Amino acid sequence: MVRRSFRYLLVVIFSLYLFFMYNGRIFTGLLILELIYPVCSFIFLHSIGNKVSVRFGRFPSMGERGERFRGQVIIENQSRFQSVRYCVRLRVNHHFSKTGPRQKLTGTLSPLEKQTQIVTLESQYAGMMDCGLETLILYDILGIFYRKIPLRDRRFVGIMPPFELVPMEITQRTRDFLADADEHSTQKKGDDPDDIYQIREYRPPDSIHLIHWKLSAKENHLMVKDRGFPLGCVLLLWIRMPDTETDSASFNMLLEKAASLSVTLFEEKCIHMAAWFEEKSGQVVKWKVNSTEAVYEWIWRLLSCEPFHDAEMEQTCYEEAFRGEHFSSIVILNGNGTLTVNGEAIGMTSPEYYCL
């Protein structure tokens, strides 16, 4: 606007020069028009500013990292008589970035016209993307003066990481680990005395303690009861996001590793628990993963999680949340990408295989 105003001032000065140097009505009329133009421009921008609206139209709530997606921005002129030229500024920020790329949408609105502008976006990081309408700029008839109107409409797009299987070995210790649970396997027997997997005929060397005496008396031969195998969480995947280690790149790495580990554990029939600390609520979020849908659900919830500042509070809540619970393995995934399995650090890069 400063450059346009400077040019306008030069034109007015030149018109003043012509007004004093030459005696003519045309120069007088031209000077008068130039002097009253700012007033007319102010009145025009003030009246049209209350009749132009900007909002998001159809906008996706989820996308994939590295893939482009489109959204709509709707600009509408509710004036019956006035046309206007506009510019809409759109700001896009990632979860942990303070500034992001900006886009400009320009056009001209006729009276009672509604336009739909298409916005194409892409994110190189997984996480939550914040798309906000920042400013509406309306220009006067000659484009010399303009009016800025702040906008507050926002949309959040969850950018999902890729889900890839990783080489992993589930040890027999983990597979046979008995965890407390309300659900029991229908395909495998175990040692839970509170649940019966099946009742069958006695076969040596079955323990005498497993004989079902009432049913044996009814059937006239010995029957035994196999105990159930509890489908509890045998492994804990603990996600740590301290603010000193978490930025857009590291959070992207954390999400990718977490998603890959979780989906691989499920494919290996290993029921596990994903958990992390939320400082805002002062609680530990626990997510039992026993299906493919559960993997997507807890990763989606993790997208909007904020890094914590108080490490002591995190440790206290962790100890309180898992007091009395036992796991065959505890996998800790840190915000900087390091992985710890049962207290042993693996490092920044993925190994040839995970042994849990």
Mean pLDDT by 10 residues, the chain (356 residues): 62 61 66 72 86 92 88 92 91 76 90 92 87 92 86 90 81 67 44 54 67 66 61 80 80 87 86 88 87 88 87 88 84 82 65 60
Residue given tokens 């009749």 in the structure block: 51
Q: Distance between CA 253 and CA 239 in Å, rounded?
A: 12
Contacts of 168 (CB under 8 A, 6+ apart): 261, 264, 265, 268, 353, 354, 355, 356
Please answer whether residues 199 and 212 qualify as being in contact, where contact means their C-beta atoms are separated by less than 8 angstroms: yes
* The pair of three-digit structure tokens given for residue 5, joined into one six-digit string: 């105003």
Residue given tokens 């209350």 in the structure block: 50
Q: Are strands 154-160 and 127-139 parallel, antiparallel or unpaired?
A: antiparallel
pLDDT of residue 354: 66
Greatest Cα pair distance in the chain: 131
* The pair of three-digit structure tokens given for residue 354, joined into one six-digit string: 């995970």
Q: Distance between CA 18 and CA 16 in Å, rounded?
A: 5
Kindly state the helix (H) or strand (E) to which residue 150 belongs, with its residue range: strand 146-150
pLDDT of residue 42: 84
pTM: 0.69
